[in-house]
Each structure stands twice: as structure tokens, then as C-alpha cells.
Amino acid sequence: MSNGDRDGLIVEGIRRLGSVVIFLARLLAQCAPALGRPWLLVHQVYNAGARSLIIIMLSGLFVGMVLGLQGYDLLHRFGSVEALGSAAALGLLKELAPVMTALLFAGRAGTALTSEIGLMRATDQLTAMEIMAVDPMRYVAAPRFLGGVIAMPLLTAIFSVVGLYGAQLIGVQLMGVDRGVFWSQMQDSVELRNVTEGVVKSLVFGTACSLIAVHEGYNAAPTAEGVALATTRTVVASSVLTLLLDYVLTATFL
Amino acid sequence: MVVDVRGVHYALGGRPIFSDLDVQVRRGRITAIMGPSGTGKTTLLKLITAQVPPDQGELRVFGQELATLGRREVYALRRRMGMLFQNGALLTDMDVFENVAFPVREHTDLPETLIRKLVLTKLQAVGLRGAAALMPAELSGGMARRVALARAIVMDPEVLMYDEPFVGLDPISLGVILRLIKHMNEALGITSIVVSHDVQELATIADDSYLISGGRVAASGTPAQLRASDSPAVRQFMTGCAEGPVPFHYPAPDYATQLLAAED
């Protein structure tokens, strides 16, 4: 890569970042008016949240089961299987639930948001709204963004609960860890700040993933290829940003 | 004067679309904007509705210079306009009734019964009262455009813009749309701007017409005046010849040279 290419990439990166920040400012300005139309918001929470429930619960169950199995195997070597409850709970609440939910959300709800808004752009629906003096930022973008931000912590909570059930299923039912020890160890070691960490993470991830999805759709090139590219960018950018933010947040909470 | 375009220059991606364009739309009249495909007729509507700013020149709508207006004022101005899109641009997640009701719900607090009456009246005018419960995906292109027309007039705009309203309509729908444009203009005094290349259809309803070619107004006047014009460009367009001062071909290298070069 030549110097010119690299400079071009850097400039393009900064330009993109700037456009996202400006978009976020406009979006936040429209969030209050969007709250005045609860039915639009409820519809979007349903779209992003309720419709992702099955994939979130299934993934949560399997992740929990793997955690139970791997955790048991590891702890068994050190003769401390009674710590399985704490390990599973802390792992899920602090890391796995927020991150996995965000990644699944980007693939399930984020792509849907991007392609929906991108197609609205491609078929002149957003322009038609502008001409009708209805701001699409307020009517289309803001409710979808808020819907995602609200749905993410709820989905994360459900992921954690189902995940814990999965870990218990393997650890207690299959591997024979004592049920009382499993739950009481968990109760002893999980503190409120561990839960807070998960909630904060899920809120930040929800904001980031929804922002990227809505921004990419809103600024998609109005062609079939443009919408496809925007959808891909949503998944890639959301996933990478989620993992990056996860490190930053984990470092902050430690 | 509803729309006053003076000396407007506009370029898109380095390609000049308009250079020194002058168009005046007078209140209560039907103004036809004609011209070959790709002359920027739709772009002119984008300029008038303040979707894109001109590079240079004055653009006044309802006497207000668009360049001086903020976002809020532009939206206030747009509430006095209606626009019919070429493809209808209906909102695909709601049915026909809700599409027409959309601007009313967004801009007013009218009771549901009144909205119902208003929407059904407009749908009746375009002959689609019976299609109120259909989704946009279930409509043909012509029907979608008629629904879009009902939506464009539901807020009783002062000026209505039509982007290629006759393309792909069957003769019956075409006749109905033509009569509707004329009727709304006469009965309601709506100023109309019709962008089209269907010379024959436009000539029957237009009061004023502009022929745009090469980024500027090639001719203007009543349709009869345009037809009687002896300017070669106007005659070429009105009679539909490929040869003439208006280029039919997009700029390209020499035909024979390019074909021969392909053999090597």
C-alpha cells in the first residue's frame, strides 16, 4: 500500500466517523419527539426485541451449556467444582451475555434495520416523507434507534437467565455438582456491580449497534448493491466495535 | 408568481445539469416542463422542493428565497406543496388508506371520523376507494401512482408537482389523471407543475410550457406557440426526430473508430 492510498483511507475513516457523529447528534435531537409517539416505539421494540427472542434464548441456552461443561472440566482438575455456579454467573453476566447478545443483535435486528431503511431510501419513501414535511429522522430513524437501545439490555438479561439455566442443566443435572452449593456459591460471589457492568455494557452495545444499523441504512446508496453493501457493513462494524468497546469497558470496570 | 427560478446553475458529479436556467410558474396555472430524458426535469423539482441547493442563481418559492431558509422554514414551505413521484413512493409498511392518511395524521389533530371522510373523498377522486385496504405491494404501477396522487392532494396543497405522471398508464387511467390535473387546477385553483416528455398529453392541459434542453430553456410559451415555433430544436422535440440540434446520443467517441478498435 502506497502512502497516498494510506492517507486516502485515513481521511475516509475520519470522514465516516464525522458523519456518524453528526448523524448521532441529529438522531438524539429527534429522540424526544419520537418518545411522543409511543406506538411507533413499541412497534420497534417489538421488531428488534421480541422478534429476536428465539435466537437469543437458543444461543443463551447453548452458551450456558458449554460454559457448564467447560467450567466443570476445568474446575474438576483443581478439585473445586463447587465454584462452577460463580464462574458461570460471572462469565455470563459480565462478558458472554452482553457480547453474544450484541453480536446476535447485529446479525438479526441490525441487518433488518439497515436493509429496511436502505430500501426505503432506494424507493424514494424517505424523500416522499421529506416532501410531505415529515422528518424521516424523527419518523423512521429515531424510533428504530431507540427501539434497539431499549431492546438490547432486555435481551441481554434474558440471555443471562437462560444461560444460567443451561449451565445448571449440565453442571448440576448431568455432572452431579451439588445443587445447593451451585446456587449458594453464585449468591455469595455475584455482587451488584457485576450486574451493573453487564447492564452498562449492554446499553453501550445497544447504542452502538443501533446507531450503526440506522446510519448505514439511512446513508445507503439507493441501489440493490448499495443496500447489500450497507447491510454487510452493519454486521462487520457492529461486531468489531462491540468487541473493541467490550475491552474498553472491561478495563474501566476492573 | 409561485416559483421563480432565475439564472440557476447546477452540476451533479461534475456534469453540468443546468446552466443559466430561468423558469417562472404563475399562480393558478398549469405549467408544463418538457424536455428529452436526462435534461434534469426531475432535478428541477428537487431544486424547487429544496432537496438540493443550486450552485448559483436565485430560486424563490412563494416569494421566499430558498437559500436563506432554515430547516424549519423549508418544512413549513413544503407543507404548502404536494408532489407526485414517478414510482409513487408509497410507504410500503402501511395500507392504501393509511398512506393517504399519513400526512393528515402527522400534521393535524383531526378526529378519526373526519380523517376517514377526508381520505375516502380523495381516494374516490382517483377511483380507488375500493382499494383502501390493499397494501402497496398489491397495486399495479398505475394504481400506486393514483394512490400517491390522492396522498399528494390530501392536505390541499397550493402547488402540486407531477414527476412524469403519464408514464406507463393505460389509456383510461391516463385520461382520468389528465382530467384530474385539469379539474384540480380549475376547481381548487391549485397551481400545477407537470414534468413530462409526453408532448401530446401535456398540450391538452398546459397553460404555459417550457422546453428544457442542454441545461437551459430552449423555448417557452403556450403549447400552441411551441408547436408553431420554427426553432429547429423545438421542432425536433415536438416531432420526435433523432437527428437535429438536440443530441439523441450521449457524448461518445466516434462510432466507426470505436467499433474498429474493438477488433484489435
Q: What is the per-residue pLDDT across A14-69, written as a single tens digit (0 to 9) for each?
A: 998 899 999 999 999 988 888 888 888 999 999 999 999 999 999 999 999 999 99
Q: For residue B210, is it within any domain?
A: yes
Q: What is the per-residue pLDDT across B45-65, written as a single tens digit (0 to 9) for each?
A: 999 999 888 998 899 999 888
Chain A residues closer than 8 Å to B107 by CB: 133-134
Q: For residue B177, is it within any domain?
A: yes
pTM to 2 decimal places: 0.86
What is the distance between the alpha carbons of residues A33 and B144, in angstroms, rounded to a whole number?
Answer: 30
**Position A118 confidence tier, pLDDT thresholds 50, 70, 90:** very high
Report yes or no for ipTM above 0.90: no
Chain A residue nearest residue B152, CA to CA: A132
3-state SS assignment for residue A186? helix
pLDDT of A8 > 80? The answer is: yes
Q: For residue B253, is it within any domain?
A: yes
| Total number of domains constituting chain A | 1
- How many CB atoms within 10 Å of residue A89? 24
CB contact under 8 A, B106 and A139: yes
> Which spans in chain A are helix H?
3-35, 38-48, 53-77, 84-90, 97-105, 111-122, 125-131, 136, 142-168, 179-189, 192-218, 224-253
Per the model's pLDDT, the better-predicted residue between B238 and A91 turns out to be A91
Interface mutation target, options B83, B106, B162, chain A, most CBs of A under 10 Å: B106
The reported pLDDT for the residue numbered B102 is 94
Please check whether residue A22 touches B, CB under 8 A: no
The reported pLDDT for the residue numbered A1 is 63
Q: For residue B137, is it within any domain?
A: no
Q: For residue B256, is it within any domain?
A: yes
Chain A residues closer than 8 Å to B85 by CB: 124, 127-128
- CA–CA min distance B235, chain A (Å): 34
CB contact under 8 A, A128 and B89: yes
CATH code at position B11: 3.40.50.300
Please check whether residue A127 touches B, CB under 8 A: yes
Q: Which residue positions in chain B have pLDDT lower than 50?
A: none
Domain hosting residue B72, numbered range: 3-80+157-263
Q: For residue B136, is it within any domain?
A: no
What is the distance between the alpha carbons of residues B142 and B170, in angstroms, rounded to a whole number?
Answer: 8
Q: Percentages helix, strand, coil for chain B, rounded to the nearest 5?
A: 40, 25, 35
Q: For residue B109, is it within any domain?
A: no
Please check whether residue A115 touches B, CB under 8 A: no
What is the distance between the alpha carbons of residues A73 and B181, in angstroms, rounded to a whole number?
Answer: 78
Domain hosting residue A21, numbered range: 3-253
CB contact under 8 A, A130 and B79: no
| Total number of domains constituting chain B | 1
Q: Which three cell numbers stand for residue A224?
A: 440493490
Q: For residue B227, is it within any domain?
A: yes
Instruction: Please report, for residues A86, A94, A193, A250, the alpha-carbon distance to residue A254 in angstroms, rounded to integers and kept in the order given.
Output: 17, 11, 10, 6
Chain A residue nearest residue B73, CA to CA: A133
The reported pLDDT for the residue numbered B164 is 87
- CA–CA min distance A27, chain B (Å): 15
How many beta-carbon pairs under 8 angstroms link A with B?
Answer: 51
Closest CA to A141 of A28, A49, A36, A227: A28
- CA–CA min distance B89, chain A (Å): 5
Closest Cβ–Cβ partner in B51, B87, B103 for A132: B103
Q: What is the per-residue pLDDT across B132-189, written as a single tens digit (0 to 9) for each?
A: 999 999 998 888 888 999 999 899 899 999 998 888 778 888 888 888 888 888 888 8
Chain A residues closer than 8 Å to B81 by CB: 131
CB contact under 8 A, A130 and B78: yes
Chain B residues closer than 8 Å to A119 by CB: 92
Chain B residues closer than 8 Å to A131 by CB: 49, 51, 78, 81-83
CB contact under 8 A, B89 and A125: yes
